[in-house]
Structures are given as structure tokens and as C-alpha cells.
Structure 1
Amino acid sequence: MPVQATGVVNQKRSRDMGQASRVIRRKKCKRRRTVVALTPPPPQSSRPEVPMLLQKLYLACRSVFKGPGTIPCPSDVQLLCRILDNMKPEDVGLSSKTQSLISENVGEGRPRVTSSTIYHCENFSLCMFFLPATAVIPLHNHPGMTVFSKLLLGKLHIKAYDWVDPSSLDCSTPVSKPRLARLKVDSVFTPPCDTSVLYPTWGGNIHAVRAETPCAFLDVLGPPYSKEDGRDCSYYKDLPYTAFPNGIMEVVEEEANYRWLEEIEMPEESEMDCIRYLGPQIIEASC
């Protein structure tokens, strides 16, 4: 009897240990399944089938801008405008809080403009500009450049001019006297609005902007500024047409649309702060 009882006890103990072992193994399997569930691979259907708009813009710019002297043909202008027209703040990493953050960059005395370079090469550059309310970028030019501007946030006033006689300009020598310019744009813009385009000699190549509210806009410059290549930025002050009654034009039907632009030294308000771009990154294509 004692032996038999011992055998029964041993069998029962063995069964209990086996059950406990199985319970532990089941618990371990369950824990592993939970970990896998926290980091599942993305389903195939959620992966984007087309590049992001910023990447598409970069690839289009690579195709359109071939270096100094390049002026995009109408079809290329339409291509870039179509991409830019569809771009939204989130495509370059901006959020609903961006406007309040822009408003914080109001230093002592005057609001400061901030710029951030998304991409830069010899043929083109992609830059963002952030303007607190009442901030200005003074009247300046884009020599030998085609520029596409897309307003992403805010309300922006743009005033732009073209030279009446651009052929008379000699970019190799400084402008020593005022030159006559025709008003091209004098309006306030709010998103969604069409992309604006200016060309080397027309379209509002000389312009100034003022933020009515906190603003952010994206510029495509082709080619970018370069002192070495003679594409340095010049600044101007505008004077009424009547300031020079003996000017080159004796009669002007709408004097308000014409101004004399005089080149000046770089204004203090043209100084900008630069910040690192932290939005969606461009994947550079091989040459």
C-alpha cells in the first residue's frame, strides 16, 4: 500500500508539473504574439504609389533647370506650377501651429524674417521664408533668374515692378541713377492662390513683400543667387514718376503705374535669420 500510494502521488505530481509547464509555455507564446502586434510591417496597400509632392518638385526642377541662362519653356512652367499649386503646408513639414510659432519671432524693434533652405545646387534652390505679421522683405531683384513662389500660409502683400527698358541695363556696372519701372503687381494674396512666376526681365522681377498676418511661402529659384556668377541681390527705393519731370518719357497715361527705382545699400530689414530645414527630406537622384 505505501508503495502504491507513493506511485500514485508521483504520477499526480508528474501530471501537475506537466500542466504547469504547458501553462508557462502558453504564456510565453502569448507574450511573443503581443510584441509582434506592436510593430507590424506596414500593409502593402498603405505604401504610397507616387512620390511625395516635394520629391516630385525636386525631380521636375532637375529636369527644367539646366544652369545659368535657362528660362523654362511654357510647358515646363506649367509643370512646375501644377506641382506647386497642389502643395500644402504639410508637404514641407508645416503644421497648424506654424503661424503661432512664426509670430514668436518678433525681436526687439521689428519682426525678423526667417529662411530655411530645403535644397540647393548650382542650377536651382528650394527655400522657405517665414514672416511674422508686419515683417517685410524690401524691394529687391532676381538678376538672370526665374522664380516660382507658392504662398503656403497667411496673408501676403506683394508689390512688383518690371523695368520699362530692360535692354538698357548693364549688369556688369552698378546702377548710378534712377531707372523707370512699370508696376506689375500690387495686391494681397491668401491661400489657396496660384503660384506666381517672375522671369529675368519681366513678370515682376523686382518686388517687395509685406506680411499682413504671419506668413510662410516657398520659393523655387533657378538658378539661385551667386555673387561669383554675377547674380547678386540689389535693393531699391521707389520714387514717384513726378520726381523726375524731365525723364525719358514725356507723357504717361497712368503715372501711378510708373515709378523711378534707385539702387540703395542693403537695408537693415533685409537681414534674415536662417534655420535648419527639418521637414520631409528629398531623396537626391543620381546624375
Structure 2
Amino acid sequence: MERSKIQALYDATHALFSQEGLPTFQQIHYLKNLLDKVEATDVGIDEYGLCDSPMSDSTVDSSNGLLCGQGFSEITYIHIHECDDFSMGVFCLPAGKVFPLHDHPGMTVLSKLLYGSAHVKAYDWITLDSTGCQTIGLAGRVVDEVMNAPHEPTVLFPRSGGNIHSFTALTPCAILDVLSPPYSEDFGRPSTYYSDIPIPSLHGYSILEEKPIPRDLVVQGAPYLGPSIVTVGDYNFGQIAFHN
């Protein structure tokens, strides 16, 4: 039986991030290509579905058993998988909602805009001071653009690629994320939020200052309705990494 796209993505992600040592460029590129093939229906979402609030039973379209992509009234997270090495999930944003500026400490992150349009702003640290009660520093802007689906997946690393970023949904949209390692308070990988203060005399640079979790940030949960994933490591990345 042919593997689902999300199963193939899980298999490669598990093999890559559970191995010892840092991933190679070729391995990241292979994973990025797998992510690029995933569509909304592959994770249980009908991007054109019109439903009511995601907290009601009508969020699921009874005709196809998928979540209604146009029916979310709040930012919604669909949890697919999490283990010690990585996590997979989808953020669904209704038009006008903002996921504020936040970081991914020590993480490699691959993201795919599954549908819709979003404005993305992203920074990397130039210098920072985290010795006090708040982190503050100089950051360089690496992304400030509108992304429209279909858009190739993006990759960010612990110190490059836009590790600190925000999303503003211009239309209803969904973003599939693969994070390695996952967020963890216990292991010193919390999600930290920032305000950015542009420096007029230095185009593209801003002062980022840590701030509390925004009070108006509401993230609801929705069930994963895509194909089930067999979470057994039956594949060796060395055998699958360079197959096209």
C-alpha cells in the first residue's frame, strides 16, 4: 500500500532528526521537497469549506469528513505528532488574525503555507543581551513580504533564516510546521514573544525586546482528521534520503 504524504513526511523527519549529528544540506532539501508535496486535504482540511465556529460540531464537513478551512474564527492549532526529537502540526488563521513575533530557540523549522495569503516578517539576531530578566537586542530583518499559496516551503535554523517571525493572515490560511527539537520549557526551549522597534537610521534593523505573551493571543485546538500515522521507525534515512 502506498504511503500517505504525511506518513512519508513523518518517516523522513523521524529518521533525519533522530540520527546523531547535524543534518546535511541534502537531507534538509529532501525533507523540504516532501513537505512541498503536502496539501491541505493531506492533513484533513478542506481549504474551501465554509463552516461555523471551530468549537462547534459543524467545523467538520459531514460530506467529506474534513475540517472547514474557511470556518475558523480564532487561530487554531491542529496537533499531528510530537516526540522528543520533533513536532508536526498545522496553524489555521482566519483573515485579519496575527500570530505575533516569536522565536524558535535552538530549532530547525520547516514550514509550508498550505493555502491562503499571509504577510510574514522575520528577523535574525545580530547582538542580544539575555543576562537580565528580559532579552533585548539588535536584529536584522530577513523577510518582510506577502506569501501566497502555493509557495515553496521555508527553512529556518537556530541562527539564520528568520528564527524570530510573525504571521498576519490576509485571507484564511494554514501553515504546516515541522519543528526540531520541539518547544520545551523543561529543556530551555520556551516560546518567547517580542516587540520590534525599527531603527530609522539603519534600514532593515530593529531593536527586539522580550514581552509577555500577548493577552489577546487566543489559540484553540482542533482534531487532526488526516491519514493516521504509523509512528514506528521502519525506515532508515540513509536508504530514503536521496530517492526522488
1:137 paired residue number: 99
- Write the mapping of 1:122-271 to structure 2, written as runs, cut at 5 A: 122-165=84-127, 173=131, 176=134, 178-242=136-200, 255-271=202-218
Counterpart selection for 2:18 from 58, 66, 69: 66
Residues 217-262 of structure 1, C-alpha deviations (whole Å, 9 max, x = no match): 10000111000000001000001214xxxxxxxxx6xx22000001
Distance 2:226 2:22 in 1: 29
For normalisation by structure 2, the TM-score amounts to 0.82
Tell me which structure has the larger Cα radius of gyration. Answer: 1
2:176 maps to a residue whose letter is L
2:46 paired residue number: 95
Question: Any unmatched runs of 5+ in structure 1?
Answer: 1-47, 107-111, 243-251
Taking a change above 3 Å as real, the CA distance of residues 76 and 125 of structure 1, as seen in their structure-2 partners, is same
Counterpart selection for 1:86 from 37, 43, 47: 37
Q: Does the alignment pair 1:104 with 2:71? A: yes
Residues 18-57 of structure 1, C-alpha deviations (whole Å, 9 max, x = no match): xxxxxxxxxxxxxxxxxxxxxxxxxxxxxx4x31111110
Taking a change above 3 Å as real, the CA distance of residues 187 and 70 of structure 1, as seen in their structure-2 partners, is farther
Distance 1:105 1:275 in 2: 10
Higher relative contact order (CA 8 A, sep 6+): 2
* CA RMSD after TM alignment: 2.1
2:224 maps to a residue whose letter is Y
Q: Does the alignment pair 1:285 with 2:235? A: no
Shift of 1:204: 0.1
1:76 paired residue number: 27
Shift of 1:95: 1.9
Contact 2:113 2:175 in 1 (8 A): yes
Shift of 1:175: 5.6
Distance 2:85 2:50 in 1: 31
Percent identity, please: 39
2:241 paired residue number: none
Contact 1:175 1:263 in 2 (8 A): no
Q: Secondary structure at the match of 2:223?
A: coil
1:206 maps to a residue whose letter is I
Count of aligned residue pairs for this structure pair: 218
Shift of 1:125: 0.7
Distance 1:77 1:236 in 2: 28
Shift of 1:202: 0.9
For normalisation by structure 1, the TM-score amounts to 0.71
Q: Secondary structure at the match of 1:202?
A: coil
Shift of 1:88: 1.4
1:83 maps to a residue whose letter is L
Question: Any unmatched runs of 5+ in structure 2?
Answer: 52-67, 235-244
Residues 156-204 of structure 1, C-alpha deviations (whole Å, 9 max, x = no match): 1110000013xx555xx55636310000000111121110011011100
Shift of 1:72: 2.6
Q: Secondary structure at the match of 2:8?
A: helix
Contact 1:71 1:146 in 2 (8 A): no
Taking a change above 3 Å as real, the CA distance of residues 202 and 96 of structure 1, as seen in their structure-2 partners, is closer
Distance 1:73 1:193 in 2: 23
Shift of 1:271: 2.8
2:55 paired residue number: none
Taking a change above 3 Å as real, the CA distance of residues 177 and 196 of structure 1, as seen in their structure-2 partners, is closer
Shift of 1:103: 4.0
More helix by share: 1
1:41 paired residue number: none
